[in-house]
Structure 1
Amino acid sequence: MNSLPELPPHRAGLVAVVGRPNVGKSTLVNALVGAKVSIVSPRPQTTRHRLLGIATFQDGQILLVDTPGLHSDSRRAMNRYMNRAARGALAEVQAAMLVIEAGQWREEDEAAYQVLAEARVPCVLVINKTDKVKEKGSLLPFIAKVTGGREFAAVHPIAARRQDGLRPLVASVLAQLPESPPLYGEDEITDRSERFLAGELVREQLMLRLGEEVPYSTTVEIERFEEDGNLLRIGAVIWVERDGQKPIVIGKGGERLREIGSSARRAMEHLFGRKVFLETWCRVREGWSDDEAALKQFGYAE
């Protein structure tokens, strides 16, 4: 009598996604989850909060802890908060992914590696943005240089934006996790509320549409979040730090604020799967990003 082939054990666990700013951590999380749970822009420090992305596969479930980029600037309360959030993500994880950019190994990459080495969790090295490397033959020497004298459970060159190389990466990450049934439902994609995600989608538009410095002086507070049948009524306040920044956000005749609101609304409707009525305002709170009390009010809490 023939026996049935033994299925591989189901695995599940928490995996921190760590690296310096702007290496593509959030893009990778979204690609693995299969939905947009982390906002993305070309700017460093787009991610400010620790966020859980739930990636469910046949053989296991990876709970991706997307973190702010580790960086050396700790002069302001916001920077210190983001570094604490990134380091705090390692407290309960079973594994980690160190995400770097192909062809680059900077001091901040080394600092991120040292943080992971101190945490003593299995670390998979993810070399992202390989699609931007013109000389593909340079990748092998680069990998040899980065891995020399450093310990990694596996190494995976990928292009998260194009979803290249993700299947073998998933297999390597699952191999680091304990045997466990799924920890979340198959249709769940994040532990964050729709209210939180709404604020992030507004902030994403600020990062994409404003000039060099202003986006870092803005944050978003959701004042109203009401369900009206299949309609969501959302009121969002965009906070800036100085009076001179307010007209920049609003734009001539309110045009830029309308564009921000319109794009954010469409993104919400796509993510939430229902109609959204969004109102936006811009207000000033002097120096909020260096004010611990203001940070807590706006949701930047450990």
Structure 2
Amino acid sequence: MSDRSPSQPRPQAAPHRSGFACFVGRPNAGKSTLTNALVGTKVAITSSRPQTTRHTVRGIVHRPDAQLVLVDTPGLHKPRTLLGERLNDVVRTTWAEVDVIGFCLPADQKLGPGDRFIAGELAKAGKTPKVAVVTKTDLVDSKQLAEQLIAVDRLGRELGLDWAEIVPVSAVAGQQVSLLADLLVPLLPEGPPLYPEGDLTDEPEQVMVAELIREAALEGVRDELPHSIAVVVEEMIPREGRPESKPLLDIHANLYIERPSQKGIVIGPKGARLKDVGMKSRKHIEALLGTPVFLDLHVKVAKDWQRDPRQLRKLGF
């Protein structure tokens, strides 16, 4: 029973906000892991090696008061290949279109030239609010964290960057992740939700499936193949003649590498590594799509694809 009399006005509800945020930072600064922690499910490819995010993966955070759409960009870096230049263009285009930018700086690494380069670029990014997010706080003690927070504040002042907030978080330990969302939301414009409730990403399913396969393939070959793997899902089709209660989705995908010598590394002795890639990625794909999957993987050579405009286009970059 409410104790408010009928004549009392109802308290004014805060306006709903919705908009886009993106995380930037040098490669491996924890951007994808943070996106996944905020959304609460695995939408962005995460890997312990730099430069694994190639597509703009959007994670969608649904809240009663807001909808925060996260755009996960590749790490900005000094480009050495045509692919590198294209990735940097993707980053800058994204910055121009979002409502707030989160700059990720790992707590366990001193600020370096890469961070300064990105901060300098950010300083040119107009009036878009910028939040400094100090990531991986679970890897340092409180003294190191305090030093990093002071260094980040100083970096902003030196470059004329006015941080809207400086927030320490650990996506892995789940510390301060919801606080970060609380701080990002007021920086979004007022407006209705941009996506239906329940959507977690607007990536086409084929792109996400390709990313999950690629992630599993990279995990298997930690140091032998830096970024020479691209994955293209050729088709995803329901298996014919299956009863409705027992559906099966056939997924045919090609893993492209740059040189014939890399083929053996990806396939492994007697095909063991490729089989492992299939098992690991199938688990994630089935969780993502909510249906049993048959995964058919083939390894192909696309010579020097990172430097060839025609092949880059064919592989979706």
TM-score category by the smaller chain? over 0.9
The structure 1 segments of at least 4 consecutive aligned residues displaced by more than 4 Å after TM superposition are: none
Q: Which moved more, 1:206-215 or 1:259-268?
A: 206-215
Could you tell me which residue of structure 2 aligns to residue 221 of structure 1?
A: 232
Mapped to 2, the partners of 1:124 and 1:146 lie a distance apart of 11
Q: Which moved more, 1:152-161 or 1:227-236?
A: 227-236
1:1-302 → structure 2 map (5 Å cutoff):
1-72=7-78, 74-103=79-108, 104-120=110-126, 121-133=128-140, 135-148=141-154, 149=157, 150-228=161-239, 230-300=247-317
How many pairs does the alignment contain? 298
1:77 deviation in Å?
Answer: 1.6
Retained in 2: the 8 A contact 1:96–1:124? yes
Retained in 1: the 8 A contact 2:229–2:256? yes
1:137 deviation in Å?
Answer: 2.3
**1:158 alignment partner AA:** V
1:55 deviation in Å?
Answer: 1.1
1:215 deviation in Å?
Answer: 4.3
Mapped to 1, the partners of 2:279 and 2:202 lie a distance apart of 26
Q: Which runs of 5+ in 2 are unaligned?
A: 1-6
Retained in 1: the 8 A contact 2:248–2:292? yes
Q: Among the aligned pairs, what percent are the same residue?
A: 39
**CA-atom RMSD in angstroms:** 1.3
Give a deviation string over 1:222-278, Cα, whole Å, max 9, x none: 112113463221001011111110011111111111111111111100111111110
Counterpart secondary structure, 1:162: coil
Mapped to 2, the partners of 1:181 and 1:277 lie a distance apart of 39
Could you tell me which residue of structure 1 aligns to residue 3 of structure 2?
A: none
1:151 deviation in Å?
Answer: 1.4
Mapped to 2, the partners of 1:111 and 1:4 lie a distance apart of 50
**1:138 alignment partner AA:** Q
Q: Which runs of 5+ in 1 are unaligned?
A: none
Retained in 2: the 8 A contact 1:233–1:278? yes
Larger radius of gyration: 2
Mapped to 2, the partners of 1:6 and 1:110 lie a distance apart of 44
1:141 deviation in Å?
Answer: 3.1
